[in-house]
Each structure stands twice: as C-alpha cells, then as structure tokens.
Amino acid sequence: MQSKGVMDSYLHHESHFRASDTVRDIVIGMADGLTVPFALAAGISGAAAGVDLVVTAGVAEVAAGSIAMGLGGYLAARSQHEHYVSERTREEREIVDKPDAEASEVADIFARYGLTPAHYAPLIDGLKANPVAWRDFMMRFELGLEEPQPQRAKWSAATIAGAYVVGGFIPLAPYLAFDTVARALPWSIAVTLAALAVFGYIKGHYTGAPKATSALQTLAIGGLAAAVAFALARLIG
C-alpha cells in the first residue's frame, strides 16, 4: 500500500507538470490574442474606417499573429529539448571521464539534505552500478532539468496558436455583429475586459492561485496592455 501511495504521488506530480506547461501556453496565446487584435481594431476604428476594413485587418492580424506565436512556441520548445539533450550528453561523458568528481557532486547534493556519508555512501555505490540512473539523477538534482515530453514542440505551437485565434476573435466579434464601428467599439471593449476577467479566473483554477485575485490581476494587466496599445494606435492613426 505504501508503494502504491508513492507511485500515485509520482504520477500526480508528472500530471501537474504537464498541465502547467499547457496552461502556460494557453496563457501566452490567449493574453496576446485578446489584446493585440483589440488594439488594432480600436485603432482602425479611430481612423473612421468601416466595419469591413476593421474585420479584414483584424482577421489578417489574427492569422499572422497565431502563426508567429505558434512558431515562437515551437522554437522555444525545440531549444529546451536541444538544451536538455546537450546537458545529458555532457553528464554521460563526465560520468565516464570523471567518476570521482561526479560522485563528489552526488555527495554534496545529499549533504544539503542533512544526510551523512553513512547514509548516502550505499546510494552512491548504487548509482555507480547503474550509469543511466546516475545520469538521470544528476540531470534532475544537479541541473534541475526535466526531460521534455515527446512532441512537446508541436503541441506547444498548436496550443499557443489556437489560444491566440480564440482570444483574437473575441474583440472582433462585435464588429461582425454590428454594422457601424461606433456601435461595435464599446461592445468590443466590454467583451474584451470581460473575457480577460473570465480567463484570469479559469487560469487561477488550474494554477492553484486564488481565483478572484487571478481574475483581477489578469483584468488589470491585460486591460492596461490593451489601453496602452489602443492609445498608441490612436496616436499613430
């Protein structure tokens, strides 16, 4: 039963880690998707443009922005994977070329947790007998690196791009529903701010932060970013 409890705890940790990556990607895509297209649409509205032009420009921006954001997420995940592989190769080489130095590093790690040589000497001997476990131990406890998930880069790109598209069409929706920018703009502001608050609340649920606090923070930060972008668009326009 104890073994099952330890395994359940481990599986829960891994599930939480993967969920955190996904939530992070959604936050990145949704936050930009809500603010950038809104600022563009509002800026064009200020130039006395028609609804058709606002929608056309907004859709083009959502398409281009989602591709750019998705590509950025893909490259970031690929770089993370390449860094992990490089460090893993280095650890494998050091275990072979400098085993005593690596064993000393393991001892230092255990010593930081209050263990004495009598406690960790058998553990070091066990790691020496299993180079793969030794390498993985050093990756996790010396370098603090987790092995990236398979297909992480593709999944990250798709998640960020999809979240950007969903977020981007929220401020554009009023322009599809109304025939004048004068009527669409106030609704665009209202639904964007409401979406930021709801998004923050949901984000708090998945990250473990207080939901109301997360909603207010996301509303404040996203609203400020949208207001600054809106002001700049109006100023330039």
**Structure tokens given for 181:** 């920018």
Task: Look at residue 189 and tell me if it is in a domain.
Answer: yes
Query: Mean of the pLDDT values across residues 91-102?
Result: 84
Kindly state whether residue 171 falls inside one of the protein's structural domains.
Answer: yes
Decide if 1 is inside a domain: no
Is residue 16 in some structural domain? no
Total domains present in the chain: 1
- Is the pLDDT at 153 greater than 50? The verdict is yes
pLDDT of residue 162: 93
CA distance 114 to 81: 33
Give the per-residue pLDDT at 3: 39
Q: Does position 217 have pLDDT exceeding 60, yes or no? A: yes
| Predicted pLDDT at 237 | 59
pLDDT at 11: 42
Helix 181-207 vs helix 211-236: angle between axes, to the nearest 10 degrees?
Answer: 150
Q: Is the pLDDT of residue 200 over 90?
A: no
- Weakest-pLDDT range from 12-21, 54-63, 203-212: 12-21
Label residues 22-38 b or e (16+ Cβ within 10 Å = b): ebbbbbbbbbbbbbbbb
Q: What percent of the chain has pLDDT over 90?
A: 13
Q: What is the pLDDT of residue 152?
A: 82
Domain containing 202 equals: 32-236
What are the start-end ranges of the H helices in the chain? 2-46, 51-97, 99-112, 117-128, 131-137, 152-177, 181-207, 211-236
Residue 74 within any structural domain of the chain = yes
Given a cut of 90, is residue 67 above it in pLDDT?
yes
Residues 164-181 have pLDDT tens digits of: 999 999 989 999 998 888
pLDDT digits (tens, 9 = 90+) for 18-63: 457 787 888 888 888 888 888 788 777 766 567 888 888 889 999 9
Q: Would you say residue 198 lies in a domain? A: yes
Tokens, residue 180: 């004048």
The pTM (predicted TM-score) of the whole model is 0.72
